[in-house]
Structure 1
Amino acid sequence: MSDQFEIPTHCKAGVVINEGPNFHLEVQMVPVPEPGKNALSDHGSFMLYFGIFGLGTYLSILSGPDDILIRLNYTGICSSDIHMMQGDLGLPPMSTFGVRSPGHEGAGVVVKVGSNVKNFQLGDRAGIKPIMNTCGSCVHCWDDKETYCKGAIHAGLMVAGTYQQYLVSPARYASPIPNGVPDEVAAPIMCSASTIYRSLVESSIRSGAWVVFPGGGGGVGIQGVQLAKAMGMRPIVVDTGEAKRKLALEMGAEAFIDFKEVTDASKAVIDIADGVGAHGVFVTAPAAYKTAISFVGDRIGSVIMCIGLPAAGSTVLGTDPCEYIFKNLTIKGTLVGSRKDTAMALDFARRGMLQQICEVYPVNRMPEAVDKLRRGEVAGRLVINFNWED
């Protein structure tokens, strides 16, 4: 049945050049991967990797009969991609794994299926997430912590990411995309919405609570604003610029505080939050960690949720232990969303509670989009349309 789709030998991909602090991106033609062939690197069988959480082994990543080949229509551009290309997270660089294309927010269509695959058929819509696969048999995978699996395979770091139009994925880990959710909406959900959904759930914050998103005009934050609103919370965004103000208020923020226009952004948040302070602070922009605790004011039992990844060793978050004690303060981190989290976020979109927050760029302008994000000039998310050249 694979002859129903014409599969080219090569496809377009955003390829990182001069990996490191002075990287740049080029759009090149690269070979289309095949299920059953090693998709980790060009260096033969890959048996050992340095995982994000320590050393681990993963012996069979892509086994052919259990895989699908996805032709992506869209990929999101995420700040984590910048970290991967700069190599500033303290992880082995992409080149360690023979990877040249980052990305972990892809939405497209299944064009080839392995003989053992039961959950996808040709023509089904499917998404690629930050995690490409897990071991499926460790305590983390059994306990709703699969994204912390030491055998996890990370898209755009350990295998080619969604800046490449055709990708092989284990069928068990790809995400079905429901009807009614366009690919340009689904792509950012694979990371930004599912990531912030996980954080909202793990915060245990209740309906009616004030939640602050410092740096919330970006892709993860603005998805968080929509989900928080849908879950009955009262979101406040702290950011700067008219484009981010407009988007935040359109997406459900009760207030937008431009930190460049007020003398004390923390006081402005506290005044809005009943004159007491926020119940929760969701830090999606690394620069916001330095002021995150100040937004809780005198609120008892608040939680600071750490989501945005700063460069390794660049940021410390904390305060006097007495403040934790007297305010019953919690600081907690969450990684990316699981398969379940992604399915839940997609269902919010299917019900109209996650609107499009992206600006669409043609594939030939992918380097321009990456540079724009690198400069911090993006409201919401940028996505790339692989089927459009300008």
Structure 2
Amino acid sequence: MADIPKECKGAVVVDEGPNFRVEVRNVAVPEIGPEDVLIKINATGLCMSDVHFMSNDWGIAPMSYFGTQCAGHEGAGVIVKVGERVKRLKVGQRAGFKPIAETCGWCDLCISGQDQYCAAAKLTGFLTDGESTGYQGKRLHANAAIGTYKQYLRSPEAYTTLIPDGVPDHIAGPVMCSASTMYSSLKESGLRPGDWAVFVGGGGGVGIQGVQLASAMGIRPIVVDSGREKRKVALEYGAEAFLDFKESKNVAAEAVATCGGIGAHGVFVTAGEGYPTALSFLGNRVGGKVMCVALPTVGLYPMNVNAAELITKKKSISGTMVSSMADVHKTLEFAQRGILRLRPEIVGLSKFNDAVQRLKKGEVAGRIVVDFNLE
């Protein structure tokens, strides 16, 4: 077993709120329990959810209330230490860190494959790095859900995801959240081969992986976004059309026309700004569905819903939150088969804050990943 350092690198949130930044500092390496493993993170994806949490714009308690230092929930690395009662996992195996760090494992939701909704779930990067009275006075497990902006993480054996051969860390990291989230949403939508799917915000890190997965499933993706680079990436990754909302006079009408003049079978909202107009992309499609994926800023982007339209056209609105452990495994299989051809921008530790700020400003096409082994 390799020597484990007492400290490691972590991107610590400074001045949480609208003007936050992250600084790479030395932080403590967590201790593990007898049924835990210690994962050394090689790469972490950057997700817009991290930005919302660090900005404190979700209407929940601020990061400092939870005691959180390091955000992040898309990690990929290697197991470097195992607890004395660990039976299945071994040092040297590659493992990932998901948005859900731990669940109870025995409730109805856990045993029915909906473990991401477990009431006892610990959310990665949302809880404290150490013991704390925590949210609503509840005591939190030490190192319960350290974010993947930190290089060493504790993970319970029962909820640790192994990464298969052939899936590099810079792809496996984003699979833990964004790609598997889109897989779950596509699966829950019930769309079939040949159906049209509009991805609002589809040029970003979450949507672009949905485009690839939809194309692989025989679904016909249309991306609604803006910018030459996002257009290039979307078309390269399988979109049949790219509609620039900044250039279009009526982007919803263009989308409906592209979908045979009837409308999309499904709309996947992967950017919060898309919620107010999401239903319009369904046009007159009977049974059309809006799938809510992006978590919007509290109080912004309400959906305009006409109940009569839902009734007479059998339209529906649904949501999915991240993905189950089983769906993460299934999405990793897509990556192993080369269906997820994600080529993220990879940066080193010195560019950590710059990368997060670019993501915040909407300047990232596709996904961006930080490599802990690069300066």
TM-score scaled by length of structure 2: 0.94
Instruction: Report the RMSD for the aligned CA atoms in angstroms.
Output: 1.0
Q: 1:118 to 1:318 in 2, by over 3 A?
A: farther
| Residue of structure 2 aligned with 1:297, choices 277, 283, 306 | 283
Return the letter of the residue paired with 2:103.
T
Per the alignment, in what secondary structure is the counterpart of residue 351 of structure 2? helix
Matched, 1:32 2:1: no
Per the alignment, in what secondary structure is the counterpart of residue 288 of structure 1? helix
Residue ranges of structure 2 left out of the alignment (5+ in a row): 128-144
Q: Is the 8 A contact 2:274 2:301 kept in 1?
A: no
Aligned partner of 2:239 in structure 1 is: 253
Per the alignment, in what secondary structure is the counterpart of residue 147 of structure 1? helix
| Residue of structure 1 aligned with 2:121, choices 131, 152, 157 | 152
Greater CA deviation, 209-218 or 314-323? 314-323
Measured after TM superposition, the shift of residue 156 of structure 1 is 0.6
Matched, 1:99 2:96: no
Return the letter of the residue paired with 1:127.
G
Measured after TM superposition, the shift of residue 96 of structure 1 is 2.1
d(CA) in 1 for partners of 2:89, 2:241: 43
Return the letter of the residue paired with 2:283.
G
Q: Is the 8 A contact 1:222 1:357 kept in 2?
A: no
Q: Deviations over 1:191-231 (max 9, x none)?
A: 00011111001111111100000110011100000000111
Structure 1 outlier segments of 4+, above 6 Å: none
d(CA) in 2 for partners of 1:211, 1:118: 43
Measured after TM superposition, the shift of residue 7 of structure 1 is 1.6
d(CA) in 2 for partners of 1:132, 1:196: 19
Aligned partner of 2:222 in structure 1 is: 236
Measured after TM superposition, the shift of residue 313 of structure 1 is 2.1
Identity in percent: 53
Residue ranges of structure 1 left out of the alignment (5+ in a row): 36-63
Per the alignment, in what secondary structure is the counterpart of residue 277 of structure 2? helix
Aligned partner of 1:193 in structure 2 is: 179
Aligned partner of 1:216 in structure 2 is: 202
Return the letter of the residue paired with 1:153.
K
Q: Deviations over 1:109-135 (max 9, x none)?
A: 000011221221110000000000001
Aligned partner of 2:101 in structure 1 is: 132
d(CA) in 1 for partners of 2:159, 2:50: 21
Q: Deviations over 1:13-50 (max 9, x none)?
A: 11001112221111111011110xxxxxxxxxxxxxxx
d(CA) in 2 for partners of 1:125, 1:343: 13
Aligned partner of 2:131 in structure 1 is: none
Q: Deviations over 1:162-219 (max 9, x none)?
A: 0001111111112110000010011000000011111001111111100000110011
Return the letter of the residue paired with 2:53.
M
Return the letter of the residue paired with 1:32.
V
Q: Is the 8 A contact 1:23 1:86 kept in 2?
A: yes
d(CA) in 1 for partners of 2:188, 2:84: 38
Return the letter of the residue paired with 1:255.
A
TM-score scaled by length of structure 1: 0.90
Q: Is the 8 A contact 1:228 1:235 kept in 2?
A: yes
d(CA) in 2 for partners of 1:212, 1:119: 42
d(CA) in 1 for partners of 2:237, 2:86: 38
Q: Deviations over 1:134-171 (max 9, x none)?
A: 01122211222211111100011013200001111111
Q: Is the 8 A contact 2:209 2:342 kept in 1?
A: no
Q: Is the 8 A contact 2:95 2:160 kept in 1?
A: yes
Matched, 1:270 2:256: yes
| Residue of structure 1 aligned with 2:314, choices 328, 342, 346 | 328
Measured after TM superposition, the shift of residue 90 of structure 1 is 2.0
Return the letter of the residue paired with 1:71.
K
d(CA) in 2 for partners of 1:220, 1:261: 23
Matches within 5 A, 1:363-374: 363-374=349-360
| Residue of structure 1 aligned with 2:297, choices 297, 311, 330 | 311
d(CA) in 2 for partners of 1:238, 1:108: 34
Measured after TM superposition, the shift of residue 93 of structure 1 is 2.1
Aligned partner of 2:14 in structure 1 is: 17
| Residue of structure 2 aligned with 1:143, choices 84, 90, 112 | 112
d(CA) in 1 for partners of 2:64, 2:108: 30
Q: Is the 8 A contact 1:15 1:25 kept in 2?
A: yes
Per the alignment, in what secondary structure is the counterpart of residue 219 of structure 1? coil
Greater CA deviation, 72-81 or 356-365? 356-365
d(CA) in 2 for partners of 1:248, 1:6: 44
Return the letter of the residue paired with 2:190.
S
d(CA) in 1 for partners of 2:109, 2:19: 37
Return the letter of the residue paired with 2:207.
G
Measured after TM superposition, the shift of residue 318 of structure 1 is 3.5
Q: Deviations over 1:256-312 (max 9, x none)?
A: 111112211111111111111100000010001111111011111000000100012
Q: Is the 8 A contact 1:94 1:156 kept in 2?
A: no
Q: Is the 8 A contact 1:283 1:305 kept in 2?
A: yes
d(CA) in 1 for partners of 2:29, 2:38: 9
| Residue of structure 2 aligned with 1:205, choices 191, 194, 204 | 191
d(CA) in 1 for partners of 2:95, 2:60: 28
d(CA) in 1 for partners of 2:265, 2:312: 15
Aligned partner of 2:51 in structure 1 is: 82
Q: Is the 8 A contact 1:128 1:175 kept in 2?
A: yes
